[in-house]
């Protein structure tokens, strides 16, 4: 029964990690940007969904939508106010732009975090679950919303796959991640591709944030750990590789859940971090890395 419990719990958390990390790795794959404001955008989505429901009295669906919309807007704001000006700057040498973007998104994330703490306090908030109640799965009492979370994550990741592989926009995005110059030669404006990718990223991060807010709850303190976990999942899976991130998300999710149940919740994140160090030693490009 404990094994089943770990299986169910681990799946939900892994699916959530996968969703969060997919957008993160997509942006890196297409535009080479490591967005360290990731955790802040997720938390902002959850807090916005909470505020919409409990301050403005919206129902849980509308609240969740508000959360996702806020994340999408914040994501575009990140691109236009933080990332694009650095990429276009003549004053910053090209080889230093990556590190500038890294620092700028980190600071941007801290600004969002502090703003959340200022306006909504640093106490944790939880998003109203869309489905209440529990089901009994062979003796394991599981909240229905946990199953819902896992289902939505899988569905959204599936939709993303269809979008990238089966639609024209998706194919351009895919092409841009392989050869940006080629895409420009074919007559596509690279900036437009980036805007599409940041919008997709915002929606993914928003959904992940809102679901996390329902499943476990978030506070402004969650910003750092969320960015760190997305970052380590993406590095483990191979920077820029979406399928690598998916596998890594499940490895990390299950490793954490297993540790929490079998050893102690206090050591939850340690084995995953050790694994990351080991992978860095023997396979620096990550599990499915391209470089």
Partner 1 sequence: MTPITHRRTAWSLILLGATALGLSLSGAAQAADPIKIGVIAEAQSIAGASIPQAAQMAADEINAKGGVDGRQIQIVAYDNHSSSADSVRAFQRAVNEDKVHAVIASYISEVVLALMPWAARLKTPFITPGAASNEITRAIHENYDKNKYTFHGYLTSAALALSVCDAAKELLVEGKKMKSAVIMSEDAAWTKPLDIGYQECLPKIGLKVLDHIRFSPDTTDFTPIFNKIEAAKPDVIITGISHVGVQPTVQWKNQQVPIPMFGISSQATNSTFGKDTNNAADGVLYQGVSGPGVAVTPKSVPFAENFKKKFGNYPSYAGYTSYDDVYMFADAIKRAGSTDADKMVAAMEKTDWEGTIGRIQFYGKEDKFTHGLKYGKGLLTGLMLQWQDGRQIAVWPKEVAKSALKFPSFIKFSAN
Contact residues for partner 1 (CB under 8 A)?
2, 5, 9, 13, 50, 53-55, 117-118, 121-129, 133-134, 141, 143, 145-146, 216-217, 219-220, 222, 225, 257, 260-261, 265-266, 268
Backbone φ and ψ of 213, nearest 5°: -60, -35
Q: Least separation, in Å, of the C-beta of 219 and partner 1?
A: 8
CB of 271 to partner 1, least distance (A): 14
Q: Dig out the tokens for 120 from the structure.
A: 């909504």
Minimum CB distance to partner 1, residue 260 (Å): 4
Smallest distance from partner 1 to CB 5, Å: 7
Q: Decide: 28 and 65 in contact? Cβ < 8 Å.
A: no
Q: How far is the CB of 148 from partner 1 (least distance, A)?
A: 11
Q: CB of 227: closest distance to partner 1 in angstroms? A: 14
Nearer residue to partner 1 within complex by CB, 220 or 245: 220
Q: Which residues contact 117 (CB under 8 A, 6 or more apart)?
A: 220
Nearer to partner 1, 97 or 125 (CB): 125
User: Closer CB to partner 1, residue 73 or residue 131?
Assistant: 131
Q: Which two tokens stand for residue 244?
A: 């690598």
Residue closer to partner 1 (CB basis): 13 or 176:
13
Find, among 274, 277, 270, the residue nearest to 256 by Cα. 270
Nearer to partner 1, 31 or 257 (CB): 257
**Closer by beta carbon to partner 1, 121 or else 192:** 121
Shortest Cβ 125–partner 1 spacing (Å) = 6
Give the residue with the Cβ less far from partner 1, 37 or 259.
Answer: 259
């Amino acid at each position: 029964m404990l094994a089943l419990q770990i299986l169910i719990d681990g799946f939900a958390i892994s699916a959530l990690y996968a969703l969060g990390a997919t957008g993160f790795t997509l942006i890196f794959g297409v535009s080479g940007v490591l967005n360290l404001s990731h955790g802040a955008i997720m938390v902002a989505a959850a807090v916005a969904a909470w505020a919409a429901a409990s301050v403005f009295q919206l129902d849980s669906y509308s609240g969740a939508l508000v959360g996702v919309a806020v994340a999408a807007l914040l994501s575009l704001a990140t691109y236009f106010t933080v990332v694009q000006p650095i990429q276009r700057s003549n004053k910053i040498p090209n080889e230093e732009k990556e590190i500038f973007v890294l620092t700028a998104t980190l600071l941007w994330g801290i600004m969002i975090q502090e703003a959340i703490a200022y306006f909504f306090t640093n106490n944790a908030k939880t998003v109203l679950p869309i489905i209440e109640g529990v089901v009994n799965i062979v003796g394991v009492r599981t909240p229905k919303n946990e199953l819902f979370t896992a289902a939505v994550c899988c569905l959204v990741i599936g939709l993303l796959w269809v979008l990238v592989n089966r639609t024209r926009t998706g194919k351009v995005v895919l092409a841009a991640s392989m050869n940006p110059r080629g895409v420009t030669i074919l007559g596509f404006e690279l900036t437009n591709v980036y805007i599409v990718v940041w919008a997709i990223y915002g929606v993914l991060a928003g959904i992940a944030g809102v679901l996390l807010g329902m499943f476990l709850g978030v506070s402004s303190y969650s910003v750092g750990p969320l960015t760190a976990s997305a970052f380590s999942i993406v590095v483990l899976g191979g920077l820029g590789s979406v399928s690598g991130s998916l596998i890594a998300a499940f490895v990390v999710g299950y490793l954490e859940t297993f540790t929490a149940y079998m050893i102690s919740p206090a050591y939850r994140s340690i084995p995953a971090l050790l694994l990351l160090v080991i992978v860095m030693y023997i396979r620096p490009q990550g599990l499915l890395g391209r470089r």
